[in-house]
Structure 1
């Protein structure tokens, strides 16, 4: 049996619910942490407005203390041509109060030099708050592969709080290879995201995005070589279980979180 890592309940596995409820669900289903989305992934997207409503913080902090569940990551920051790090002070302050560990970061700027510069500024700004800035490569963004993510970090002069997220779905559907993981310094990997999916890569970005947001599968249900991915990273790395699927609307958030946890544990037991 493989080492069983600590698991975090991703925002997309239990979306549209209050963070305090997510914390209780996590506590009742075997997770050690949760992720919270406090900025939208896209304009008009769902998120919990904790920056705008700081009066919600004491209740969430009390629930964290009661349950013993921590905050793994905060979503999400996008680096685009209009990126302005000065607008993110409230985001960092919330992260520090929650004692969050990581920020999920996406890259949308086609100017690679400007993208690395923006990332360097983000890392510098969030470091005093105890946060790492973890790049999530996605094949429809400007950071399309694990190699692209590493190039951004190198272009930013390797900040001490830089990081790369390996999402098994994006890894499998991008120009990324298992050998790339070994070529990247291990200290850049703080946590990873797990799900399964069809072994057939969608042909268009629209289909890729749709699959990522609504059609991820439980580990073992699809065709991704999860074994190769998760035996290539540190066995002690926290794993965020991120499995949005249409089926979850037919179940309670607790039941879906439990199903995702059970399938992920079964996968690790077989490693």
Structure 2
């Protein structure tokens, strides 16, 4: 199996500042790291990563010291009232950090307006070398693969992509067969985690599980092998596995656990596929 790019995603270690996130990922053996430049909720830590802020400079220095690369940045929400131009400082910081992928959530019930906002966001990011990755999530207005692909088609932008997250993919009822229709150029990276096979009974539990209590790859009941085999074998992977109940382990131990678990799942998946092809 050829080496696979593995990144430690921001949500996995949300208690860490961006420079400490870089150090943790590097020490745990990752080659890449995902950084949250804008918070997803008001309850999250607020890190000033705009312009030439001290925190941005510290993060750049830590990247230089460790040799780590930034795989992706997050999170941009397309809400009804959003002024897409207001995201430019964040996008400029992303480019300065060396990122190429930006995570986007569709939180606008007006689909046509969401398409327009997404297209303008793509246009804003293109000169900076940034691609916009729409992530379907069951509680957002772009909640599944079909809606995400419709948005990409209507937006008509070359730097627009689909981001598949294992837990959202399962909870939305999407299937590996749906991915066969996705052009390769629309897939830039994926997010990997695990979770119990049984779907949550309530939206409250769905949100809590996704934001706070996922499981390392291979430790739950999601059909990760089928999902991986339905996606390109060289697609970069970001390990997004928040585990609040395991906070006592510390960020470093959790990061090492995630990397080891992902490698085991990849070896089992592609080893079995290769063995099957040879028989």
TM-score over 0.5 for the pair: yes
Q: Helix, strand or coil: the match of 1:210?
A: helix
CA contact (8 A) 1:196 1:222 kept: yes
Structure 1 equivalent of residue 251 of structure 2: 253
1:80-95 superposed matches below 5 A = 80-95=79-94
1:1-271 superposed matches below 5 A = 2-51=1-50, 54-157=53-156, 159-271=157-269
Q: Helix, strand or coil: the match of 1:240?
A: strand
CA contact (8 A) 2:6 2:238 kept: yes
Report the CA distance between 1:18 and its aligned residue.
2.1
CA contact (8 A) 2:217 2:261 kept: yes
Report the CA distance between 1:47 and its aligned residue.
3.9
Q: Deviations over 1:185-222 (max 9, x none)?
A: 11111000000001011122211110001110111111
Q: Helix, strand or coil: the match of 1:166?
A: strand
User: CA RMSD, aligned part only?
Assistant: 1.3
How many Å separate the matches in 2 of 1:58 and 1:79? 28
Q: Helix, strand or coil: the match of 1:34?
A: strand
Q: Deviations over 1:64-104 (max 9, x none)?
A: 11211011111100001111111112111101110111111
CA contact (8 A) 1:4 1:235 kept: no
Q: Deviations over 1:123-176 (max 9, x none)?
A: 00111111110011001110111111111111212x010011110000011131
**Gap runs ≥5 in structure 2:** 270-279
Report the CA distance between 1:3 and its aligned residue.
3.3
CA contact (8 A) 2:48 2:55 kept: no
CA contact (8 A) 2:77 2:106 kept: yes
CA contact (8 A) 1:4 1:265 kept: no
Moved more, 233-242 or 41-50: 41-50
**Gap runs ≥5 in structure 1:** none
Report the CA distance between 1:105 and its aligned residue.
0.4
How many Å separate the matches in 1 of 2:47 and 2:246? 19
Structure 1 equivalent of residue 276 of structure 2: none
Q: TM-score, normalised by structure 1?
A: 0.95
How many Å separate the matches in 1 of 2:21 and 2:242? 15
Q: Helix, strand or coil: the match of 2:167?
A: helix
Q: Helix, strand or coil: the match of 1:270?
A: helix
Report the CA distance between 1:261 and its aligned residue.
0.7
How many Å separate the matches in 1 of 2:198 and 2:211? 16
Higher relative contact order (CA 8 A, sep 6+): 1
Q: TM-score, normalised by structure 2?
A: 0.93
